[in-house]
Amino acid sequence: MSQAASADPPAADVRVQTPAIEARSLSLFYGSFRALKDVDVAVPRREITALIGPSGCGKSTLLRVFNRMNDLVRGVRIEGSVLVDGRDIYRPDADLIALRKRVGMVFQRPNPFPISVFQNVAYGPAIHGMASNAELEEAVERNLRATGLWDDLKDRLRVPALSLPPEQQQRLCLSRLLAVEPDVLLMDEPCSTLDPIATARIEELLFELKKNYTIVIVTHNMQQAARVSSRAGFMLLGDLVEFGATEGLFTNPRDQRTQDYITGRFG
Ligand X SMILES: Nc1ncnc2c1ncn2[C@@H]1O[C@H](COP(=O)(O)OP(=O)(O)OP(=O)(O)O)[C@@H](O)[C@H]1O
Residues that bind ligand X (CB under 6 A): 30, 33, 35, 53, 55-61, 73, 220
- For position 30 contacting another protein by CB under 8 A, the verdict is no
> Residue 141 region, left (φ>0) first, then alpha (ψ -120 to 50), else beta?
alpha
What is the gyration radius of the CA atoms in the chain, in angstroms? 19
Asked if 177 interacts with another protein (CB under 8 A), we say yes
Q: Do 20 and 44 meet the contact criterion of CB atoms below 8 Å apart?
A: yes
Q: Give residues 59-78 in contact with another protein (rule: CB under 8 A).
A: 67, 69, 72, 74
Instruction: Write down the least CB distance from residue 107 to ligand X, Å.
Output: 11
Partner touching 107 among another protein, ligand X, Mg ion, none, CB below 5 to 8 Å by kind: another protein
Q: Which of residues 57-76 bind Mg ion (CB under 5 A)?
A: 60
CB nearer to another protein: give 217 or 236: 217
* Rounded to 5°, angle at Cα 70 from 239 and 84: 75
Contact flag: residue 111 with another protein (CB under 8 A): yes
User: Shortest CA distance to 128 belongs to which of 162, 177, 170, 169?
Assistant: 177
CB 131 within 8 A of CB 193: no
Residue 177 CB, shortest distance to ligand X, in Å, is 19
Stretch that binds another protein, among 13-21, 103-111, 226-234, 239-247 (CB under 8 A): 103-111
Q: Which is nearer to ligand X, 29 or 113 (CB)?
A: 29
Minimum Å gap between C-beta 229 and another protein is 21
The one of Mg ion, ligand X, another protein, none whose footprint includes residue 111, by CB under 5 to 8 A per kind, is another protein
Site membership for another protein, residue 127 (CB under 8 A): yes
Under rule CB under 8 A, residue 31 binds another protein: no
Residues 6+ apart with CB under 8 A from 146: 174, 175, 178, 209
How far is Cα 263 from Cα 197, in angstroms, rounded to an integer? 25
Distance separating alpha carbons of residues 202 and 214, to the nearest angstrom? 16
Partner whose binding site includes residue 98, from Mg ion, another protein, ligand X, none (CB under 5 to 8 Å by kind): another protein
Q: Using alpha carbons only, give the angle 226, 222, 213 rounded to the nearest 5 degrees.
A: 50
Which residues are within 8 A (CB) of 219 and not within 5 positions of it... i.e. 6 or more apart?
A: 50, 51, 52, 189, 191, 192, 225
List C-alpha distances in Å: 230 to 108, 114, 207, 208, 226. Answer: 21, 35, 11, 14, 8
Minimum CB–partner distance for residue 225 and Mg ion (Å): 14
- Interface residues toward another protein, by CB under 8 A: 67, 69, 72, 74, 97-101, 104-105, 107, 109, 111-115, 123-124, 126-128, 160, 162, 173, 176-177, 180
